[in-house]
Amino acid sequence: MHDIFRLDNKVAVVIGAGSGIGQAAAIGLARQGARVVCGDVRLDAAVETVRIIGVGAEAATVDIANGDDVRALLRGVVQRLGRLHVVVSTPGINVRKTILNYASEEFDRVIAVNLKGTFHVLREAGAIMSEAGGGSIIAFSSIRALTVEPGQGVYAATKSGIVQMVRALAAELGPRNVRVNAIAPGVVETPLTQPIKDRPDWYNAYAEKSVLGRWARAEEMAGPVVFLASDAASYVTGSLLFVDGGWTAADGRFSPPL
């Protein structure tokens, strides 16, 4: 059974590989034998991930909000390496404001990266894999696709939108043996969540909300990515995999005396 998680001779592209969850995903795929192309809007960050992985990995610049960028990256990988087996999309941004205080420009920016950016990846990867007769696409959603809090309305809308696009593409490309799934992390310690960590009351409240009583480490997202990328998930498509420490499983606000 160990071999069904191996990714030897597979080509994987991770967009957002320069830090956090994307970096952890790229390292995890490489450790299972994949040849990984690390794409990020910051080339220096992607190069650092390649340095950690070692021989066989490549770095590339890509702006997920730019459809031409995404197309050039993925088509270029196919031209150089001959095939594209796995694509992982992790980038996301957030502007924490109530809807009444949201500026139209802020709305457009969050939509452009989170929702439209993921659309670019799904469309381009789906076209390539459909032509090749198979592959695995993994997009990152969030627990906010299911549950929300004040100040997260626009972000949550993008994350739930990602889930529905994933489901639609899974249905459309299932006959071509292309699997499409989403992962919904809970709270994860990454550079992007550092402002919350700097507020002990906020940080601890989030930790206590999960059943496990703590935040996730970025590397804990690598296992779910490897699973969905590998033959271990050969019959899994159109799914949303929660990796949230039990956040969405329990109310968490009060433990009644039993």
Nearest to 8 by CA among 38, 37, 35, 36: 35
Q: Is the C-alpha dihedral spanning 120, 27, 215, 192 positive or negative?
A: negative
Known catalytic membership, residue 102? no
pTM attached to this predicted model: 0.96
Q: How far is CA 32 from the centre of its chain?
A: 18
Q: Which residues pair with 89 in a beta bridge?
A: 15, 139
Q: Which residues pair with 181 in a beta bridge?
A: 138
What are the domain boundaries of the chain?
Answer: 2-243
pLDDT in tens, the chain (258 residues): 779 999 999 999 999 999 999 999 999 999 999 999 999 999 999 999 999 999 999 999 999 999 999 999 999 999 999 999 999 999 999 999 999 999 999 999 999 999 999 999 999 999 999 999 999 999 999 999 999 999 999 999 999 999 999 999 999 999 999 999 999 999 999 887 888 989 999 999 999 999 999 999 999 999 999 999 999 999 999 999 999 999 999 886 667 777
CB 11 within 8 A of CB 73: no
List 155, 203, 206, 235, catalytic entry: 155
Separation in Å, CA 231 to CA 2, 134, 174, 178, 246 = 11, 12, 15, 12, 26
- Please name the CATH architecture into which domain 2-243 falls: 3-Layer(aba) Sandwich (3.40)
**How many residues does this entry show for the chain?**
258
Phi, psi of 58 (to 5 degrees): -130, 155
